[in-house]
Chain A
Amino acid sequence: MPPLRSGVVLLRRARSLAALVGILLLAIAISPTASDGSRIFLQAGNLTDILRQVSLIGIISLAMTFVILTGGIDLSVGSILALSTALVAMFLTRGYTTHIAVAILAAVAAAALAGALNGVVIARTGIQPFIVTLASMIGVRGLAKWLTNNQNIDIGFGRDLAAGFAAVFREKAIVIGAYAAAAALFWVVLARSVFGRHVRAVGDNEKAAAYAGLPIRATKIWVYTLSGLFTGLAGVLYAAENHQGNPNAGVAYELDAIAAVVIGGTRLSGGQGSISGTIVGTLIMGVLTNMLRLNNVDSNVEMMIKAVIIVLAVAVQRERSGN
């Protein structure tokens, strides 16, 4: 990379990274101490807790990065997550199948289908993604509630199939591992694949992408499908972690995911952004939450502080890049 370009990129990444380091240092500094004098924040258990807590939003925000890179947005992820938790719990507890894999596959496939529907409508009709996914945010939530009669489907602690599923998929290692694997996948696809190049090109200049003969519709359909698919995976992990299929799960998750993406330096209008930035953005939010909770800050105050952090993080990155 030429000095100027890499300089700008580095500065940008460094700024969101610097924000993360700053918050980490602050978290360490104000961390309450355990009886042996060590800082609770730095305990291995706490640090892995943070990773586990951010994993679900983290997975969703990876796919959201692709959506936003094309110049779109996906507001339906919270509802799709709820649909996925409901379906996996139904399959596990109602005897539809005897295989955990089938239940997971069904939930993820339904979620991917919902995403694909978003993509097809957006690509075919040209209606703004905000409106299309706002509609499916409402519709898919309705579907999840209708399927479950608006009841939570509990996954027990006994010895049945569902309990076995929950025991495995709520393991910290599995959850964090899933996030890490998804992050690696999205990073490679964006940096190295033809599809990743198309995603950025479409978001950078859709008209020029058309003149270059790029498959614009297919690219859009795929990013929303991936968004649905990975949100479905996050829903499976959610069901295991919370021991239930919950049609009311995931409310406002779309906003957390979008926040992570923009804190990570991705332009909301598309064409520019990175997976590494999104990961940093996700971690900033996670560490902040953990820090405030360790210090017993009221959760309402926590939201107010987060609001300030989001605006600050984006303002700081805009200042230098000039767009």
Chain B
Amino acid sequence: MKIVVCCKAVPGVVTEVRAEADGKALQYQGQFLAMNDCDESALEEAIVLKRAHGGEVTVLTMGPVTALDTLYMALAKGADRAVRVDAQLQDPQCSSVVLSAALKKLEYDLVLTGAQSRDTLSGQVGIAVAHRLGVPFAYAVVDVQVPDSSTVRVRKELGGGRYAHVELSLPALLCVQTGIQPLTYVPPARMMRARQQPVRSFSLADLGLEAEQLVPRGYRFVDVFQPRRSSRVEFLQGAPQEIAATLLTKIKEAL
């Protein structure tokens, strides 16, 4: 089975966030880029599926050269190939245009993505990619079974302790939740070897796209701000013992 995993490098810390003058994107300083957590879970699932059913795993990312580390990490974990699309986009629709164009250049039976990225928190890209590719999809997937070469059977979360079992014909796209597989540790030596492996690179032109097509439509950012803490929050300070005594009083009042 040929599996493509879409992995995104997301910043661990962001500062100086503001909307650009035309409101079409955000500017910010991001530090400590790392693979988005549910994308990493999707990658681990892909590697487990490959070991069980054969085939190959390609990891695909869209991002600047600083996103290469995410691909090396994926190769070190066991991906066979890595592809980077050289573009930086925040809008989910534009991202789905680029990723689906890249996927059309690759071979796949199954596409895995994380359910949501930690930076934009929109959870739209996977499903939008599936729509553009014309393949069935399932969201919040926590288990994948492959009964035969043309089908996957998944368990997906519905919330509140409910799950659905869904059967999809291949090719298909699955948006994966964290926890589907344990995360594997990558020893530094393997990471060093992974850095020697080639990474295929696509420009937008390689995908037949132009930057002008990839402008967010239909909305603009008005402003970005730190959410107010609830006006009710009262911060307790002092030595742990004092705080504990105050907390106990507050707990008793609430019961």
Do A and B pair up? The answer is: no
Contact residues of B with A, CB < 8 Å?
A: none
